[in-house]
Structure 1
Amino acid sequence: MATTENTFYEGQVLWAQIDANRHLRHSAYADFCAQARSNMLKSIGLSLTDFAKNQIGPILFREELIYYKEIHLDEYIRVEVEMNKYNTVNSRFSFRHTIYKENGVKAAEVNVDGAWLDLKTRKLVAVPTDWQSYLDRIPTSEDYVQIDE
């Protein structure tokens, strides 16, 4: 399976991830993408432990799944992650996940919009300023938009 520098998850589809129609269940797509985002953050130097120390967590406002091809039991998939929008003022973000079948065919696209949540106050928060160098390492899409106002 061909991987790219933006591939942050590769794995086999398990029996527990299959639905009654004998293909990957809808919620498994979200699970694969969440793991890919977590792997991506860790790869740039921000592990979930770092988020916990700062009592910050990601929160999603929207998750959109676009299906292209079915994924079946025992297939191997890979998930690419790219940030396609970031607001530097309020730390809101958008990520595009592209899921590929083992033969390289695009199976799905998952788009999410979110922000960072202060786990104490339960309010949106900007990430610590010293994290900016980490955020600059997140892969961005060709249509990436940064909002600075």
Structure 2
Amino acid sequence: MKNLSLRWSDLDPNFHLRHSSYYDLAAQERIDILHQYGITIELMKAENVGPVLFKEQCEFKREIHLNSRIHIVTKLLKMKRDASFWVIQHEFLSEEDKLHALIKVEGSWIDTVKRKLARPAPEAIQSGLERFPKTEDFEYL
């Protein structure tokens, strides 16, 4: 769980969080969590892999304003056992745990030298994703 610190530049002309800010905040949270579980930028460089998204979808439920107290809960929803494909879910929640937005991203790993999908994912990445927080209904694909 990460508490958000919203900026004026995150707002749209209607004075609520602009749609692209949700995606930016979720992307940063994913990278922060990957880092916590050993999937660091340095590891990705050493392994010549990086995350690649196939699909990113957001359901907007309630507005978020500049002074809103919001946190993100990020968990793994689905994953192939070799970690070559995964679905991560981000919940934007109020202090009262009311859902304001739900983002789901589907992704994989790309070999940054060959510019092709890395299947299976390197062992260090598989290990890190195994420790990544999982939803209650998490499933292996």
Structure 1-normalised TM-score? 0.87
Query: Distance in 1 between the 2:136 and 2:8 partners?
Result: 35
Pick the aligned partner of 2:88 from 89, 95, 98.
Answer: 95
1:66-145 aligned at under 5 Å gives the runs 66-89=59-82, 91-125=84-118, 126-145=120-139
Rounded Cα–Cα distance in structure 2 between residues aligned with 1:64 and 1:54: 28
Match for 1:50 among 33, 37, 43? 43
Q: Is the 8 A contact 2:4 2:69 kept in 1?
A: yes
Cα RMSD after superposing both structures: 1.5
The within-5 A match list for 1:22-61 is 22-61=15-54
For residue 11 of structure 2, what is the aligned residue in structure 1? 18
Unaligned 5+ runs, structure 2: none
In 2, Cα distance between equivalents of 1:27 and 1:94: 19
CA contact (8 A) 2:84 2:109 kept: yes
1:120, distance to aligned residue in structure 2 (A): 0.8
In the aligned structure 2, how far is the partner of 1:76 from the partner of 1:113?
Answer: 27
Gaps of 5+ in 1: 1-6
Aligned letter for 2:127? S
* Paired positions, count: 140
Work out the CA distance in 1 between the residues paired with 2:81 and 2:68.
39
Deviation at 1:98, TM superposition (A): 0.3
Please give the secondary structure, in 2, of the residue aligned with 1:72.
coil
Runs of 4+ in structure 1 over 4 Å off? none
Q: How far 1:103 sits from its partner (Å)?
A: 4.1
**How big is each residue's C-alpha offset from its partner over 1:48-74, in whole Å with a ceiling of 9 and x where there is no partner?**
221122121101111110011100113
